A and B are shown apart, each in its own frame.
Chain A
Amino acid sequence: MDDIEKELEQSQNEADLAVFHKNYLSKTGKLTMMMADLKNMLAEERAEAGKRLNELKRKIEIKFFQKQAALRAQAVNDKLKQDPLIDITVPAINQPQGSLHPITLMTRRVVDICRSMGFLVVDGNEVVTEFENFDAVNIPSDHPARDMQDTFWLTNGKVLKTQTSAMQHEILKKYGPVVSAIFPGRCYRNEATDASHEFAFFQCEGMMVGKDISIANLIYVLKTLLSGVYGKEINVRLRPGFFPFVEPGFEYDASCPFCGGKGCPVCKHSGWIELGGCGMIHSNVLQMAGVDPKEYQGFAFGFGLTRLAMMQYGINDVRLLNSGNLEFLRGIKR
């Protein structure tokens, strides 16, 4: 017995163990053979011997497995010692360089918060009718507002939409009269480009129409939307403003999200950022879309997604956004 244990102890590796296993524990091993020999014994001896032999085999087996575990652990440890040391401070290199456009990233912020408030998100066309772009939003043919915007006209009489307001009519008709919707979109203006002007830019417009929708609701929605976009409490203030499709109309400012209203270069040290126009939808606009202004009322608001993105990412030249410059685009990830 002691000899067997000694032999096991002297095993240095898995190969030695295998030999030991073969010699004692396998089908042809000594211990197994001894078990087989039991049948030659006398019945009265057999019980006693069998019991002793079984105990012995069990004991050897346990020792064997213990030894095996110890040798395996040692082998892993020996290998660990030889493993090379990896420089875990080396950053990822040759990463794939994909990116989403800053306008997409900004739009998602806006869309997420608006969806959470139950707003429908509508994607509009870039080519719209003259009616949709102007007449349907209460800008008749001789209105000075048609001069305010330099419009790209198509030879078929349609226009590249100059404002997301061009979508109001279609949305009111399709989803109205009770509707909450936002409609981000690309707009075009025919004007010379420079650091702050581009032919194509993005606006986002929103509206809510119902039975009792009020100016107080408008302020609430703007405040909630902007606070959601910037992840902090934003204050909104209205000023008188004139837009043909709303009455009353307002310009609105947001407390500067970048300095909290203390004053910084983004807000030109005023603490406020002029964001866009809003107001109660003009009764003519509702009427033209088949919504009875005696029954329903609501608000509309708009702002420049391009401007929001430029402020958010500190982009000082609007032309970069449409430049397709990958060095620029790949530098913005979220």
Chain B
Amino acid sequence: MKISVDWLKDYVDLKGISAQQIAEKLTQITCEVEEVIPVGHGLDTVVVGKILTCEAHPQSDHLHLLTVDVGQAEPLHIVCGAPNARAGLTVAVATVGTVMPDGMKIVPAKLRGYESFGMCCSYAELGYKDDNEGIIELPSKTKVGTPITKVLPGLEDDIIDIDNKSITNRPDLWGHYGMARELAVIFDRALKPIDTTLVHNYDNLPALNIKLEDERCLSYGAIKVGNLAGIVSPDIMQNRLYKLGHNSHGFLVDVTNYVMFAFGNPLHAFDAAAVDKLSVGTVPAGTQFTTLKDNEITATKDMLFIKSNGKPVALAGVMGGKNSEITDTTANAVFEIATFDASNIRRTSVAVGIRSDASMRYEKALDPELNWLAVNETLHLIQTYAPQAQVQSKFTRVTSKAAEQPALQITVTKQMLNSYTGVDFSKQDALVARKLTVLGFAPKIDAKQIVVTVPSWRRWKDITSPADVIEEIIRNYGYQNITPVAPRVAVVPAPIALNAQVNDQLKDLLAWNYAFSEVHTNIWYDTKALKRFNLTVPSYATVANPFNKEDNQIRSTMLPSMLTVAANNKNQNDVRVFEIGRVINAKGTEEEHLAGVAVGMDYKAVSEMLTTIFQHLGVKVVYQLQQDGDAVWHPKNHAQIVVNGAVVGAIGIIHPQVMVNAVGFEIDLSHIDFQNIPAEHAPILSKFPKTELDFTFVWNEHYAQLDAIWDKYHNPLVVKRVLKSVYGNKFTLTFTVSSTEKTLDKSEINKIHQEILDFAGRNNVKLG
């Protein structure tokens, strides 16, 4: 939202305060200023001049040769192309050296053979208003040589552009008067009170016929004014609107915009000839409506309309209708000054796709009391600039129950203020009282507490709790004045987030010990990639509004994501990627998975890697034959990963039709109990010699089964068993035999040897 500093000065004395200072303080205390845009600065060398002579340029059909008195010893020779240039005209002359608002520099120039020492300016050229019809025609008595900045009010200004998002919670700041109040508080200046008695001069006139059919219209006021045809908006009004980005649309429309920007309450003007018996309410769903900007709208049952004799004439709070808009010939107008339920306006605005200056304000929850400021300013402008106008009705205003909010008092104890802010406010009563008073909170302060009455303009969805009042105090105290203080809390150990620690260890091991790179992928399947891999994978959750229509399946396995990344890195050597990420399982619950793909690493290296890594975490992984594995795997060479008897993942060679020479793995970390890892004991070292017994077994099943068999063999003297080597179906196991008490003699060792052989025999494990 743009704010004019020149306009603010109507309401608050800003003498000696620069636009930069205003911007800085607003940013610290109130809202975010995006930029300060200087307007009309550096135009001191544009002065009032009088055209002494005006002759046609001999070599041009539209140029004039002028001599212009600008108060210097000699009149200036100026070549001018304006159609309205004529002798005797009082004009604005940009003398040599002036830099125009569009950046053009005025220099002595030759135009078709004639020298020119300046330029007669139009309003648009000076950036004053949207008028490029010809050069400015000033009143003839304007003193020659006067700088133009002294003649055109508001020419020199600064526009402060405020980030709308930063005032979504401040409905009171959507007009100049509200901003002026903030500045009055910030700089301790007086805020000009607004007289709202003018409207009552017309209380004796007949009322308008207005019916409120819907509680979502909080207040609806209207006043009829006649004899307003053909009035041109005064310069100051055009200029102020122009600086905020609005061109003039005639006096009637300009007044409504002007009052909105002044006080924040949107207005609408109807052609009085097009409206009668006004009512506010809904229309049958499906009713067609055309706005004054030609948007075609189909009404829903929830949209609020202003109706004339039951027919919609305006989409409430959003935009007026084509059927009742102000035209060039409108003489009599009905001005609407109303307040609507914020949520309703917001929903309507979103539904019809129109975000107008009005809807933007209404959706913030405006104060219905603003109506009075707005109607007074409207009448004031009409009296000032259209004295011939006739007010034809009283300001007729009806309100709904919702508009009648009882006054709200809030008590903030000083103990709470100090505790909440961490600042000692015990000696700050004067500051607190001063700031809250100008903000309109009528504070009552005693030794223990601060009692405020929330002003109507902060009463709607803005200030509702003590914390809100504390914010008013602390922001005006100044955030930069708060001394940081270390929190005083009991020293209690934070619960350990085990999975975060496990994840960190897994990541470190994979990255630094096995040269894997951690990648990040989205939680949904990349459908194009699945097609490329010719993979069908299950999904148990669907995105209702995906960005790309086909990518709407939430993954239940991360392997495709890893394969996609691997495939995208074809140009890289030794592609090894992993991620710890999320999936949604068949039960619809979220799981944390570790998945990875390695290209060019053989199966054994990857399976040994997982064994080692999980050993590190105290978890024994077992590989188990998998029947009917997913299509992603090599039909033979893949396995289930089993931890504590439960299948938690899979590992295997990727099916060569999906990816050649790649091994993948995926483990559901959520289902591994890292919490209850058995404590580890240091190995018992024996000073007596160890004997290693090697046995080679012929085993035609998977090793996992052989391993499981030997897991059941126990002899306290057999302290270790390892797989030494594998040749085809021949598995060599080494059993270490040792006692901590003595050197075992030959017969004792032989006894164990025989015991192992017997155990093998009992379990159908044949010696190789």
Contact = CB atoms under 8 A, between A and B. Distances in A.
Nearest to B516: A98
B582 A126 contact: yes
14 contacts: A118-B492, A121-B497, A125-B582, A152-B546, A153-B545, A154-B541, A160-B523, A200-B522, A214-B421, A214-B422, A215-B420, A219-B485, A238-B479, A241-B166
Interface stretch (B193-201, B204-212, B328-336, B561-569): B561-569
A239 B32 contact: yes
Contacts of B169: 242
A111 B480 CA distance: 27
B507 interface: yes
Interface in B410-424: 419-423
Contacts of A217: 422, 484-487
A97 B479 contact: no
Contact of B494 (A180, A224, A238, A239): A180
7 tightest A-B CB contacts, nearest first = A216-B422, A214-B422, A96-B515, A248-B471, A324-B565, A220-B484, A98-B511
Nearest to A153: B544
Contacts of A104: 507, 518
B494 A329 contact: no
Contact of A152 (B29, B31, B468, B545): B545
Interface string B336-349: 00000001001100
B139 to A, nearest CB: 46
Given A125-B582, A155-B542, A99 B523 contact: no
Interface in A264-296: 280, 282-283
Interface in A215-251: 215-217, 219-221, 223-224, 236-242, 247-248, 250-251
B514 A96 contact: yes
Contacts of B517: 97-99, 326, 329-330
B577 interface: yes
A115 B494 contact: yes
Nearest to A251: B32
Nearest to A221: B487
Given A154-B541, A240-B166, A330-B517, A212 B488 contact: yes
A168 interface: no
A326 B467 contact: no
Interface string B547-571: 1000000100000000011001101
A71 B491 CA distance: 68
| Chain A interface, >50% SS class | mixed
A180 B489 contact: yes
Contacts of B592: 123
Given A98-B512, A251-B32, A240 B475 contact: yes
Contacts of A321: 520
Interface in A138-180: 142, 144, 147-148, 152-156, 158, 160, 175, 178, 180
A175 B521 CA distance: 31
Interface in B567-588: 568-569, 571-577, 582, 584, 588
A190 interface: yes
Contacts, number: 224
A213 B346 contact: no
A326 B577 contact: yes
Contacts of A115: 494
B470 A248 contact: yes
A54 interface: no
A240 B590 contact: no
A242 B468 CA distance: 12
A118 B590 contact: no
A108 interface: yes
A247 B471 contact: yes
Interface string B498-519: 0110011001101111111111
B494 A247 contact: no
Given A98-B576, A147-B350, A283-B465, A120 B497 contact: yes
A181 B569 CA distance: 38
B165 A148 contact: yes
A20 B490 CA distance: 81
A240 B474 CA distance: 10
A251 B588 CA distance: 37
Nearest to A154: B541
Nearest to A306: B520
B511 A280 contact: no
Given A152-B545, A240-B471, 18 more contacts: A97-B573, A99-B517, A122-B497, A127-B584, A156-B541, A156-B542, A210-B489, A217-B487, A220-B485, A239-B479, A242-B169, A250-B479, A297-B419, A321-B520, A322-B520, A322-B521, A326-B572, A327-B571
Nearest to B514: A98
Interface string A291-334: 00000010000000000000000000000011111110110000
B487 A213 contact: yes
Nearest to A243: B169
A247 B467 contact: yes
A99 B518 contact: yes
B520 A155 contact: no
A24 interface: no
Nearest to B494: A120
B523 A126 contact: yes
Contacts of A214: 419-423, 485
A118 B572 contact: no
A280 B420 contact: yes
A212 B343 contact: no
Interface in B527-549: 541-547
A153 B515 CA distance: 37
Contacts of B504: 108
A103 interface: yes
Given A297-B420, A324-B564, A324-B565, A200 B520 contact: yes
B456 interface: no
B500 A142 contact: no
Contact of A329 (B491, B508, B518, B590): B518
Contacts of A100: 507-508, 511, 518
A101 interface: yes
B503 to A, nearest CB: 8
B624 interface: no
Given A97-B515, A214-B419, A217-B486, A324 B569 contact: yes
B716 interface: no
A283 B513 CA distance: 49
